[in-house]
Amino acid sequence: MSTFDYNINQQLNIPHGVLEYIAGFDPQEIWEARGIKRNHLRIKKLQNKNDNELKQVINTSEFESKLTNFIKESLGLFNALIAKDQKIISKYIGDKEFYFIVGVGRTGGTYLMKEVSKALEFPMKKLLPSIIHDTLPSAGFIMDGLDRDKVGWTNIEKWNIGWRKPNNYFNLLFEIASFLVYIKRTVGNQKKIVKKKDWLCLCLNLLDEIFGEQANYIITVRHPAAITASKLDKQGALGVRVNNKEKRRRLFKIWEVIYTETLRDGIPQGEITPVLYGPDMDEFLYNFFRNNGLEDKPEGVKIANRNYDYEYWNQEEFINRMERVKELWDWHGLDFPLPKEIL
């Protein structure tokens, strides 16, 4: 087959987490401010402090030198991923196992990350949440139609093509490269790596191409009514006013799209495990602990008491659409844990 060389002229964004790493921010301080349930007041206070510190150092020669070095290494891996240069890629992936915790937001992913990290002896709190948690890669490079309004994401039906667009694809790939460089520099000897990012389930095909059988995908599942209520509680705490009826409709559509698109390109080479929020999640963790030689017990899922609109959520339309998602998973030979209770 005849071939030719080509150069890519593409502007790439530097992930904010990389700037935090170069600036020397303390991961443990950020995790403590954040908490598992995300304390927005403490986060905002610390973020303002860190932003001021970053402004003071970002133009210094030392910072620029360290950043240039990091970017140069990330670009080297980025180009290797494009060229499929396994000699270079293996320096970052090697014989490691990767545990990707993905799904819809507000489904227990952070709790699961904490417990899975404990079982695998992965030093989660020694690493920046902006890199190993939900900030990187950017959702804007994974999905399409990210215009926001007062009731949530728009153009939900277009999300499946988001990361496939050239600008998004190359930036997403560069952010994955930056993540791997960060892991190599901070916990390079760690054999089991845990990464949480809700929206990554939309591009399992890309992760599968990079990580193959060395990836494990833990997909968190929860009833859309509980997800909606949790998001509304969160936005209420932030002082955001929303149209509840419109929010419920859109969040159900998000639920439907996410769990359908997860298997858009078929089953990945790595193991894929859907985990239902609630007692099933604790049972999964209990078995996960035993299988990894940990005699401890998981902390336990905290289920909030809420007054749900059961008449609304038990409409035949919603039940049938949820059943269709399960049927898709069944077709692929996977058991999707269809939520029967609103927890």
Sheet holding 215-221, edge to edge: 192-196, 97-103, 215-221, 271-276
**Is residue 297 in a domain?**
yes
Percent of the chain with pLDDT over 70: 90
pLDDT attached to residue 152 = 46
Structure tokens at 51: 């932003």
**Is residue 341 in a domain?**
no
Across 316-341, average pLDDT: 96
32-67, pLDDT tens digit by residue?
A: 988 766 666 777 888 888 889 999 999 999 999 999
Rounded Cα distance between 122 and 191, Å, is 9
**Is residue 222 in a domain?**
yes
The pTM (predicted TM-score) of the whole model is: 0.93
Question: Residue 75 pLDDT more than 70?
Answer: yes
Question: Residue 116 pLDDT more than 70?
Answer: yes
C-alpha distances in Å from residue 29, one per residue of 26, 34, 48? 5, 9, 14
Residues 6+ apart with CB under 8 A from 335: 274, 329
Rounded Cα distance between 75 and 113, Å, is 28
- Closest by CA to 280, choosing from 221, 332, 195, is 221
Q: Following DSSP, what letter does each residue of 77-138 receive, concatenated?
A: HHHHHHHT-HHHHHHHHTT-EEEEEEESSSSSHHHHHHHHHHHHT--GGGS-HHHHSSSSS-
pLDDT attached to residue 172 = 96
pLDDT attached to residue 171 = 95
**Is residue 343 in a domain?**
no
Domain containing 281: what range?
95-169+179-331
Tokens 């409409």, located at residue: 315
Length of the chain (residues): 343
Domain of 292, CATH number, reads 3.40.50
148-186, pLDDT tens digit by residue?
A: 443 345 566 667 778 999 999 999 999 999 999 999 999
pLDDT attached to residue 149 = 42
pLDDT attached to residue 181 = 99
**Is residue 229 in a domain?**
yes
121-140, pLDDT tens digit by residue?
A: 999 999 999 999 978 999 88
Q: Following DSSP, what letter does each residue of 35-88 receive, concatenated?
A: TTTT-HHHHHHHHHHHHHHHHHHTTSHHHHHHHHHHHHHHHHHHHHHHHT-HHH
Question: Residue 238 pLDDT more than 60?
Answer: no
Is 194 in contact with 132 (CB distance < 8 Å)? yes
Q: For the chain, what is the domain count?
A: 1
pLDDT attached to residue 38 = 61
Question: Residue 202 pLDDT more than 80?
Answer: yes
pLDDT attached to residue 143 = 84
Question: Residue 240 pLDDT more than 60?
Answer: no
**Is residue 133 in a domain?**
yes
**Is residue 41 in a domain?**
no
C-alpha distances in Å from residue 33, one per residue of 110, 131, 220? 15, 16, 24
Across 80-100, average pLDDT: 98
